[in-house]
Amino acid sequence: MKIFLLEDDFSLNKLISNALEKKGFFITSVDNGYDAMTNILNNNYDLYILDINVPGFSGHEVLEEIRKRHEDLPVIIVSAELDIDNISKAYELGCNDYLKKPFELEELLLHLKYHIKTILKNDIDKDVIELGFGYKFNLKDQNLYKHDHEIVLTHKEKLLLTLFVNNLDKTVTSEMIHEYVWDNKAVEAVSMRSVIHKLQKKLKNGMIANIRGVGYKFISKDISGF
């Protein structure tokens, strides 16, 4: 799962980023509103954490831009601003939560878990996903196993498999893969197919099905049937 963090306090930014990376999240963090705008206009994330008072565009302005592009994705505001006007404005612009600084990291994680479960319909406490044919994927550490033996994945293979696991038995379009795995950065079609092919070779034949002209589908199976 990809999380975007806007926090201009270097120490807090690093603390949050490291803590969430240890939980298995993929983190993109910036310390100013200019970089935040550039990232959200060119990339897609699953959840956003925004401070309000940052250099450049404010967290409110960044939130407003996010809501123009994504109506439903979770946005958590973390701020030392305690006056009701700032809090009201954040909710009016569409934030899902407002966490007042200072806060414990565990408190932030609890808020993340709630929004991931209620909005994204994903339970991050369910670490291991059974994929069938003896394969398991640990969403927390992004590791793939077959009969408890780890299969080494590259960074992009982990992102790709995470995208598939979050969309089991659903068609994942080439555009979704481009956005999630490559952050919408320029990539040749042959490079994308290469990563998909390499991941296919690490799984049982047929688990990643090519939907001609559309994209791919990860076929989950009931292990008891095999």
Tell me, what CATH number does 150's domain have?
1.10.10.10
The verdict on residue 169 lying in a domain is: yes
Q: How many domains in the chain? A: 2
The verdict on residue 155 lying in a domain is: yes
The verdict on residue 183 lying in a domain is: yes
**Residue 204 sits in the same domain as residue 140:** yes
* Residue at 4: amino acid letter: F
**Residue 87 sits in the same domain as residue 140:** no
pLDDT digits (tens, 9 = 90+) for 62-111: 999 999 999 989 999 999 988 899 999 999 999 999 999 999 999 999 99
* The predicted structure's pLDDT at residue 221: 65
**Residue 89 sits in the same domain as residue 22:** yes
Instruction: Kindly give the residue spans of alpha helices, DSSP state H, lying in the chain.
Output: 10-22, 33-42, 59-69, 84-92, 105-118, 155-165, 174-182, 189-201
**Residue 154 sits in the same domain as residue 99:** no
**Residue 141 sits in the same domain as residue 209:** yes
pLDDT digits (tens, 9 = 90+) for 3-37: 999 999 999 999 999 999 888 788 999 999 999 99
Going edge to edge, which strands form the sheet with 75-79?
Answer: 26-30, 2-6, 47-50, 75-79, 97-100
DSSP string, 90-126: HHHTT-SEEEESS--HHHHHHHHHHHHHHTS---TT-
Tell me, what CATH number does 79's domain have?
3.40.50.2300
The verdict on residue 70 lying in a domain is: yes
The verdict on residue 16 lying in a domain is: yes
**Residue 73 sits in the same domain as residue 105:** yes
* The predicted structure's pLDDT at residue 118: 86
The verdict on residue 123 lying in a domain is: no
pLDDT digits (tens, 9 = 90+) for 111-153: 998 998 888 776 555 568 889 889 999 877 788 999 989 999 9
The mean per-residue pLDDT over the stretch 161-172 comes to: 89
Q: What percent of the chain has pLDDT over 90?
A: 70
**Residue 113 sits in the same domain as residue 146:** no
**Residue 35 sits in the same domain as residue 12:** yes
**Residue 136 sits in the same domain as residue 75:** no
- C-beta of residue 58 within 8 angstroms of C-beta of residue 8: no
Domain of residue 53: give its range.
2-118
**Residue 92 sits in the same domain as residue 28:** yes
